[in-house]
Amino acid sequence: MSLLKKRSVVNLLKSRRSIRIFKPINVPDEIVKLLVEVGERAPIPTHLQLYSFIWVKSQEKREELSEICGGEIVKNASIVLLVCGDLKRASMMLDLLEHRHVLSSDKHPVETVMSIFEAALAVDSIIIAAESLGLGSVILDCPLIYAPSIARLFNLPRGIIPLVLLCIGVRGESPPIRPRLPLEIILHEDSYREPSEDELKAYLAKLEKHMEIENYVKKYTGKDLKYLDYLKMRTELNKEVEKDYDALIKYLRENFFKI
């Protein structure tokens, strides 16, 4: 059979999009365990698995979490997983081998970056598995932004960093497929090719047009802003952001995540 005829997973991936409106429907605990088990099958550089998931299970924790971040999405999703980088457990395991190991030092850039990479691979497997079961999902980045509050809420010890929330559930919306950069910009053949300003402008224009047709900013944020203005707002460097980022860098360093 030709490769292109075996397209079922490819079709699933090509039609995946983030879902931010969920029907408040419970799924059995077995589904959650199955999805996380599938996530664990993702490749890992060593068998230390530098990540942990906190299953936000009780109504009480969900309410508390939704106050800090995630709002209605966290309230209505069938499954909410707090995805964490976890260097603590790995360090404990390596201690057991009684040698001078990289996590006993103050410098472990590879492990720090890999913990985020490993967690992302596991998350992606879970997303794909959830899609195959007919469930939608979205990732929320707010746990990192509110790391100290999230760490308090879930009793995260030093060495465990909250990265993102993975929210999975029954779709309450059917949004269109969102734009991506053209292949010729992200797929480089043999050496890196810097894109021209015109190529980038064309993509930004396409993005703006799509988001306007989707009514994206108004629908999800309630703001009357064009998408590129929203993007500027989200990425603006100002005094407040500088202060927050300094605090986050300090928090990451204190928590053993060192680059």
Q: Which of 156, 146, 131, 137 is nearest to 53 (CA)?
A: 156
Looking at 129, 135, 138, 150, which residue binds ligand FMN (CB under 6 A)?
A: 138
| SS3 of residue 49 by DSSP | coil
Q: Taking the alpha carbons of 36, 38, 41, 43 in that order, is the dihedral positive or negative?
A: negative
Nearer to ligand FMN, 103 or 165 (CB): 165
Four-CA torsion 37, 39, 41, 46, nearest 10 degrees: -120
Nearer to ligand FMN, 18 or 149 (CB): 18
> Does 181 participate in binding ligand FMN (rule CB under 6 A)?
no
> Does 164 participate in binding ligand FMN (rule CB under 6 A)?
yes
CB of 104 vs ligand FMN, minimal distance in Å: 30
Of the listed pieces 14-22, 76-84, 182-190, 229-237, which binds ligand FMN according to CB under 6 A? 14-22
> Does 18 participate in binding ligand FMN (rule CB under 6 A)?
yes
Nearer to ligand FMN, 32 or 140 (CB): 140
CB of 141 vs ligand FMN, minimal distance in Å: 4
Could you tell me where the beta strands, DSSP code E, fall in the chain? 22-23, 51-55, 79-86, 136-140, 160-171
d(CA 81, CA 83): 6
CB of 136 vs ligand FMN, minimal distance in Å: 10
CB of 206 vs ligand FMN, minimal distance in Å: 14
Of the listed pieces 28-36, 139-147, 166-174, 197-205, which binds ligand FMN according to CB under 6 A? 139-147
Q: Which of 121, 143, 118, 105 is nearest to 256 (CA)?
A: 105
- Kindly report the backbone phi and psi dihedral angles of residue 233, in degrees, each rounded to the nearest multiple of 5, phi listed first: -60, -40
Of the listed pieces 2-10, 92-100, 140-148, 233-241, which binds ligand FMN according to CB under 6 A? 140-148
CB of 20 vs ligand FMN, minimal distance in Å: 5
Looking at 142, 181, 231, 252, which residue binds ligand FMN (CB under 6 A)?
A: 142
> What does the radius of gyration of the chain's CA atoms come to, in whole angstroms?
20
d(CA 255, CA 148): 10
**CA angle centred on 94, ends 88 and 100, rounded to 5°:** 115
Nearer to ligand FMN, 19 or 156 (CB): 19
Estimate to the nearest angstrom the gap between the alpha carbon of 254 and the chain centroid. 22
Beta-bridge mates of residue 136: 169
Of the listed pieces 34-42, 88-96, 132-140, 193-201, which binds ligand FMN according to CB under 6 A? 132-140
Task: Give residues in contact with ligand FMN (CB under 6 A).
Answer: 17-18, 20, 138-142, 164, 178
